Amino acid sequence: MTKSIAILFAPDGQAPPPTFRAWLDHDGAPVASVASPDELMSLALRGRPRLVMIDARQHPVAALKATLRLKADSYTGIVPVVVYAADDDTSFAAAFDAGADEVLRDRSSAAESMQRLEVLLRRSDRDTHVHPSTRLPGSHEIEKDITRRLASGQLFGVCYADLDHFKEFNDRYSYYDGDRVIRILAQIIHDVVKGICREDGFVGHIGGDDFIFIVPADDIGDTCGEVVTVFDALVPYQYSEQDRRAGYFFGKDRRGQLHRVPLMTVSIGVVTNERRHFSHAAQISELATEMKTYAKTLPGSVFTVDRRQDLAAEPAPNGARSGDLFGSREDA
């Protein structure tokens, strides 16, 4: 995969400081040098740069205005910006006031500057790979965790959780109430996974009401069962008393016809490498989606575990039933 570029902005067009040049050579990111604020914004908006370095030593006003402009835009604002400032404390403070994520100066040692740049990028990767509402890791970190476990030879389960009747709930109540339910589910999954699996459990948020949690194979049943139990105990209280007592409400389908909408449930599809061999995370992702879709065809809150073996090793017989392939329904 091609690395994102690093942008060097110097109003006077001068070469980057030696420390920064050494770090660029070490990191291997392609470098684009620009001298105009308009060029800087155009380049940053076309793609998300890995890093922007602003040289503010010779022309601090122009440099810090460019920093402010970059940070004011919602798209480019998350790009990590390093300002190389003059040695005086006033310039140092002004750079942070303008929105810089890190400030380097000539009096900083080469070793310190290199370390600060590395830490900045680690912090940026962490912040951009989490979901903003739940603060859980997103797809990038989910894939990394699966890949790490495959490489280590661990036996584990990837559990794909999704809410049923969530859209109808949003339509009847509000997106604010829907966001609250998503945060509740995130908290339930996080607390259950960490309570049972400790550091061996991972929880990620794909987006919307879709979550992935990864647990040791021996903990699949306990973890999924507890998530289902706690969710079913808490979700009725997200409804009005009338809807909660009835156990449903009347909602309109896409054709405007009224129908009964049950209270929300959670469906969890589970894929494990106990009986199957996977070489990369995409294979597991595809099967987890398949299992989640199957779980959603079953009534109530459920988790279903894929019990199939590698087809190359043991093909499924013709006429096999869903239960033969996916394992029995497992309710908490």
Task: Out of 128, 163, 196, pick the residue that ends a domain.
Answer: 128
| CATH number of the domain where residue 205 is located | 3.30.70.270
pLDDT at 313: 35
* Final residue before a domain boundary, out of 128, 155, 174: 128
Residue 186 is assigned to a structural domain of this protein: yes
Residue in 118, 138, 120 with CA at minimum distance from that of residue 128: 138
Instruction: Quote the domain boundaries for residue 95.
Output: 6-128
Q: Give the end of a domain, one of 128, 149, 179.
A: 128
Query: Do 114 and 40 share a structural domain?
Result: yes
pLDDT the model gives residue 73 = 82
Task: State the first-to-last Cα distance of the chain, in angstroms, to the nearest integer.
Answer: 43
Residue 286 three-state SS: helix
Q: Contact 166/178 with Cβ under 8 angstroms? A: yes
Q: What is the DSSP letter of 251?
A: E
Residues 145 and 256 in one domain: yes
pLDDT score of 129 = 67
pLDDT at 311: 53
Looking at the structure, tell me whether residues 56 and 167 fall in a common domain.
no
Per-residue pLDDT tens, the chain, 332 aa: give them: 456 788 999 988 777 777 777 777 777 778 889 999 999 998 888 877 888 999 998 889 999 999 999 988 867 888 899 999 888 878 889 999 999 999 988 777 778 888 888 888 888 777 666 676 787 888 888 999 999 999 999 999 999 999 999 999 999 999 999 999 999 999 999 999 999 999 899 999 999 999 999 999 999 999 999 999 999 999 999 999 999 999 999 987 667 778 899 999 999 999 999 999 999 999 999 999 999 999 999 999 999 999 888 754 333 333 333 333 333 344 33
Q: Distance between CA atoms of 292 and 295, rounded to whole angstroms? A: 5
pLDDT for position 123: 80
**82 lies in the same domain as 166:** no
Whether residue 284 is contained in a domain is answered as yes
Q: 103 and 161, same structural domain?
A: no
Please state the domain count of the chain: 2
